[in-house]
């Protein structure tokens, strides 16, 4: 626990057998509970997770990354989480950073904390492919400009949430594919949640999960459409269940909506 808050880590998993143990081994002692949701892997991810003492759920078919997260967050809330940290079990992000990220949420500094691969300038040195890096920068510039934010990136899979934010997000309407991640950030900004960032070095290696170029292009167009939906909803030009003007979050931070990166 941190500040009396129950910390639950969730791991959306698909074929993570080779990297799961290393990820779990580095999780700090502040974590009260670990949940892994296996999206119908073809390896022994679920069996290994059970051996490691994790709470495990397995989808009967491969439903997609967004659907996996929906299950993760539902289970975490049912487990009494006050703070939920999502980290991929592919050992790409450093589990050691769960403590500072969860702490920023548990002490009411932010509603959502992102582990940024861009802050600190280590993304390329960590092996991020050139096309991914430049598309990340272009899409982030586009979203910051239209959404009025100052985030260093919108595409990280390492996040810490308050229970209140997860309950308020209309994620039942979100995609079940990769753009789910981006929709959540856009929704949080629309709801005026406070968002902070912390520098997070990442590792790119064959066993680390990554989407191919075709899926990346589909994701990019999804990001553009998500941003335009949020903008049109803000201007009252279009109604969307993702961006309901009546849906607002009472921020836990004196900083208000996003006040720029930290970390």
Q: Which domains does the chain have, with CATH numbers?
A: 7-235 (3.90.550.10)
What integer best gives the mean pLDDT of the chain? Answer: 91
- Residue 38's H or E segment, with its range, is strand 33-38
- Give me the pLDDT at residue 255, please: 36
Query: Looking up tokens 């167009």, which residue turns up?
Result: 221
Task: Please say whether the beta carbons of 223 and 141 come within 8 A.
Answer: no
- pLDDT tens, residue by residue, 128-154: 878 888 999 999 999 999 999 999 999
pLDDT band at 121 (very low <50, low <70, confident <90, very high): confident
Query: For residue 174, what are the contacts with CB-CB under 8 A and spacing of at least 6?
Result: 66, 70, 180, 183, 184, 187, 242
User: Is the model's pLDDT at 260 over the cut of 70?
Assistant: no
Question: Which of 36, 52, 154, 160 minimizes the C-alpha distance to 89?
Answer: 36
Which of 158, 154, 134, 156 minimizes the C-alpha distance to 145? 154
DSSP calls for 134-161: HHHHHHHHHHHHHHT---S-S--S-EEE
Cβ contacts of residue 246 below 8 Å, gap of 6+?
none
130 with 117: CB under 8 angstroms?
Answer: no
Predicted confidence band of residue 207 (pLDDT cuts 50, 70, 90):
low
pLDDT > 70: percent of the chain: 92
12: Cβ contacts below 8 Å, ≥ 6 apart = 37, 39, 65, 68, 69, 72, 86, 88
* Residue labelled with tokens 């929906």: 70
Q: 148's torsion region: left (phi>0), alpha (psi -120 to 50) or beta?
A: left
């Amino acid at each position: 626990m941190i500040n009396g808050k129950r910390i639950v880590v969730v791991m959306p998993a698909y074929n993570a057998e080779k990297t799961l143990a290393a990820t779990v081994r580095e999780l700090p002692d502040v974590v009260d509970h670990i949940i892994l949701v296996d999206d119908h892997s073809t390896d022994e991810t679920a069996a290994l997770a059970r051996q490691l003492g994790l709470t495990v759920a397995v989808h009967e078919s491969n439903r997609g990354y967004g659907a996996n997260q929906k299950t993760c967050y539902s289970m975490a809330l049912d487990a009494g989480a006050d703070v939920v940290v999502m980290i991929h079990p592919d050992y790409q992000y450093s589990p050691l950073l769960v403590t500072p990220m969860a702490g920023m949420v548990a002490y009411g500094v932010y509603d959502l904390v992102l582990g940024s691969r861009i802050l600190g300038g280590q993304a390329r040195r960590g092996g991020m492919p050139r096309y991914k890096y430049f598309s990340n920068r272009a899409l982030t510039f586009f979203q910051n400009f239209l959404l009025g934010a100052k985030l260093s990136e919108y595409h990280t899979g390492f996040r810490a949430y308050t229970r209140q934010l997860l309950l308020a997000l209309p994620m039942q309407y979100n995609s079940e594919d990769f753009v789910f991640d981006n929709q959540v950030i856009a929704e949080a900004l629309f709801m005026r949640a406070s968002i902070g960032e912390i520098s997070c070095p990442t590792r790119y290696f064959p066993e680390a999960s990554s989407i191919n170029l075709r899926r990346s292009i589909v994701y990019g167009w999804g990001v553009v459409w998500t941003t335009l939906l949020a903008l049109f909803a803000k201007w009252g030009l279009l109604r969307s269940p993702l961006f309901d003007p009546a849906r607002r979050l009472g921020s836990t931070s004196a900083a208000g909506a996003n006040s720029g990166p930290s970390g």
